[in-house]
Structure 1
Amino acid sequence: MYDITRGALRLCVACLAVVFCAVLPPARDAFCSTNATAPERLTITIGGDLHYPPYEFLDALGEPNGFNVELSRALARVTGINVQIRLGLWQNMREALDKGEIDVLQGISHSAERAQKIRFSDPYTTVEYSIFAREDSPMAASLADMAGRAVLVEEGGAMFDMLRRFYPRISVSPAYNHENALRRLAAGHGDFALVSKTAGKYMIQMNGLKGIRPVGTPISLERYCYATTPDKEQLLELVNSGLEMLKANGTYAELCEKWLVVPEPDKISWADVFRYGALILVPLLLILVGSLVWSRMLQRKVAERTHELQLEIARHLEAKKELERKQKVIIHSDRMATLGVMASGIAHEINNPNGTMLMNLPIMLDSFEDALEVLDVYYEENGDFLMGGLPYSRMRNEIPQMLTDMMEGAQRIKHIVHDLKDFSRKGEQADMERLDMNHVVEASLRLVNNAIRKSTNAFTLSLGSDLPPVFGSSRRIQQVVVNLILNACQALPDTSRALTVATSYDEGINAVTLQVIDEGVGISAKHLDNITDPFFTTKRESGGTGLGLSVSAGIVKEHFGALDFESTPGKGTTVTLSLPAMTDDSEAGAASASTGPQPDGARI
């Protein structure tokens, strides 16, 4: 009876193929042979999702694989047609079917809405869709519970169509496939994901996704079919017949067992465990005792060699990292040197016209004062008159003040340009000298005065009196002070927060200290130990390079000083710069420091 049925099915398939070739329009004659003596087999293209394991996906070699793929190839064998499998993004495959770029779409859920545009084969399996949630997701056991929540769904899939049509209160967040939806859910995006329960558990296990799981009972049981456009509906007859044949010959059951059934572990009684354990352990123990000494010796030698290799690898990695760090520092130093040359050139160009103003403004003031006697006589004889569009009686006192303000402004420009030129010059050992820390701080403040005024309305400067001098490069220390103040300004969230700069002398460590105290956002404890590392920054998105504090720490180290940070997130940060004070006993040491490097022990 089985053979008769199978033969009848094959005959039916052959007849359908002949009918299909006869009814196809001329534009599709490429599917059927026109040579009666050498008929060609029908070739169709079947599309599917490129990443929907275990149903369909691209394997490690980039080849189509999975339950749907093997089922389609089995259909090709029993129906005598050629099948080309084409996998891509599901939404693209839906569009490819509509455009006629593929003939049949595999693994599509049947729905009344879709049936208005495409034709479906008989269902060949069912797919349970479940709600997947994180541990911190809200409680939800049904679609109604997810109203107002963000739900990740594969764009163009059955759940995507259903939610858009019947559940407008759910915020649909499209994903390009099921795995993308699960990965985004695990990363904290959205509240839930609607994914096939079988595929979802498979993807979670294969990709090691943590903290997500299916919750509640399945919310939808979808009929899984093949589909095509109405003009190729004859293909579904071949598909339906082939499915019947695969179910009859057992191939369908084998594919289900291979891809869709997760085998339960066999249960073994404790008696069997002890019996089989004894049969296995006794020979193993005998072998183990005989090889123990030999293996120990090998393990010792392998461990020694492994340790040597690990040390060698660690040395090479450290050397590589150090080389990369130095290369980055060299590149940045070269850029800063170029910037210094540009700054010096700009300062020179500003000095020329500013010098003209400084030279001419005193002459103009003297000239106006000389002309006052004549102008006063004219005023007494003829009354008030206009000067520059304003009454002379007013301009007589304002013009001297205006000229005086202009001279003071030009002098300020001169000081700022001088400070800028000093700041842009690279410090060298020849620059080392006795320094007044208060003068260095005042020069630095002139450079950053504009940034301070924009950042805070509560700036306080406290300069200690009778500070002992320090020995160092004014330009290099000034660079450190500028970096610390600019960092403090950038940490202030609004202008109501305070910024304080203070100098003092610490007798306990014989050091001159500078404290920059801000009421900014603070630094988290996990970052405090890394803030002076080269290229470490928490402001990368706003243009930070992570080199300011690193360069500053290097300069402080060159001056045998210390740079300490104390911070409370949300309350502010205190940075303390300490430099050795020069005393009578340290004069000789300062002189020797200017001629060569000092040992590491000569620090605060």
Structure 2
Amino acid sequence: MKKYFKALILFSIGMMILFGFNLFIYYKDKTEDKSSYAVVRVAGDENFPPFEYIDESGVYTGFNVDIIRAIALVSGVEVQFYPMRWEEACEKLTKGEIDLIQGMKYTTERAKDYDFTEGYIQNSQSIFVLENNLLITSYESLTGHAVAIQKGDVAINNLRSLKDVDVVFTNNQEEAFVKLLEGEVEAIICNTLTGVNYLDKLKVRNKIKIVDIPLNYTDYSIAIKKGDTRLLKIMNRGLREIKDNGTYETIYRKWFGNTNDYPTWYVKNIMKISLVGGMVFMIAFLLFYLWNDILKEEVKKQTYRLEQVNADLVRKNDYIKEEKDFREWILNSIYSGIITINSDGEITFINDIALKILKIKMEELINMNVEDTLINEIFPVGEKANSNELKEIYINERKIYINYRINIIGGKNQYYNETIISFRDITEEKLMHETIKTRDKMDSLGTLLSGIAHEIRNPLTSIKTYAELLPKKYENPKFREMISLDIPKEIERLNNLINDLLEYSKPRKPFKEEVSLLNTVESLLRLIKDKIDRNLIKINININEDIVVFIDKNQLRQVLINLMLNSIESMNKEEKIINIDCKIDRKGVILYLSDNGHGIDEKDMDKVYNPFFTTKATGTGLGLFVTYKLLMENGVDIQIESIKEVGTTFKLYFKKEGEDEDV
């Protein structure tokens, strides 16, 4: 037994000597090359928060600045910072006028000009657009638009793969955001964290949004002049040391909040403490055994271990809670609805956007089984749906369109599965697409009408010439009289119709001017007074005499006559009423023309602007078509609301003078 204990004691002493030797080698290696550089010249972007920027008090600060200072402290080198524009910093490092750039994304193209340290953070870029921009929804949709990026940014490599992109270079990313807000560009590509920082700094979080997934996930490293291996070695060693001793973790939390993983220094310290504790325990075990107190010390040992495990559990629970809170904060900050469902079918999370879209409250869903909720009726839970699946749903009797995706984390052979539903309300986008389709259809039909008119005019010319020769036949006076009077009259009538068709398909460019809306309405009512009186129609006008609109006066009169006649011909009740009202909002003037006629059938609503479509026995179907074309030429929007057997309301939206019609 004594030999056994002696062997154990010698083994413990040997372990302590080995541990001491490793510490000696470790600290000896740390001190190498500390005095190789007198002053290291460090360049960085002068306006790239939160990584590096000059604050309001003129101090150069940021995450990268703190990292370099920490490396300099542990490496025993002195650093001098030179904030400047990004492209200027890249140029100076290439020429050797500075020693390093404190933060740069690693790319194979840049590796040809610089050496890079180990990566110390994962970085990404995002696409930022104005909140009301519905045309740019993905990276591919940047084609045909103006996009701002910082000079020297790697995003230029992405944009080269697209055609017809107007790239606008800026000195810094704040300038890019200003151009976006002022409408000089339609999108910007920049660092995700920096972009979110500027949203808060400029107080425009409600005006700008992020679209599509992040771009350019790359390692973020320190760039060093090509071939300077000694400085590269110092920087790499310094990075590893500040990660080991916890300094990096402290800096990261200062600028970005908590990380999801245990820091390296924490794990290594636990390993060191465990090693020392194990050796102490072994020596104590031998001494206590010799003193016949082994059992008592073993109990203490187990108690100590339980306390350590309990402390670890408490720390882990704190980390889990922090991670959960951070995840919920992120999910509530994005622009899509998110719902998560566990393997038991219980709803575990729903973010604020989802509650807003579905018009529901948190307590109505959380911890409930999905089969007992509205979610199961809307989404095919349990199935993997294709991405960008479109669905029409009704929320509070209002029809909306949503784009959704269902993902299942895990699999059939795994213990735990969680379903994630992400969706967006695209009702406004769909309505805009339908409007664009209608305009395109109108343009095509206009071209068709032009062709038809020209095809009819050619035979009309021959018929008219032939008719003019017929009076030479004087044998039948009655026939001669009919031919000479009726046929030219009908030819002239057809020719006028052709001219009208040509004008409708290619209306003349309107001459816009300020027009009194009340005077115009009253003058056109005088024109059709006889028809109004014959039909016993009551007209109610509620228009302020000071209201003016910017439009072609004659074309406005033609539009209003078409709408009035359409309303008159639609009424078959005993009491026939037409109300003409007007109001002003921040966007312009809205004119309402309402009747109590028989209304428009819902199935015909999408065809009312089609030429030659009519439900009247004697109608031509050109009235609303011409009205639509004339209003579009004048930059006026029209909207129809109709209920069968109740009546129809036409709404005309006049923009303010000088306002961009495309806005």
TM-score normalised to structure 2 length: 0.36
* Rg comparison, structure with higher value: 1
Is the helix fraction higher in 1 or 2?
A: 1
TM-score (norm 1): 0.39
> Greater relative contact order (Cα 8 A, min sep 6): structure 1 or 2?
1
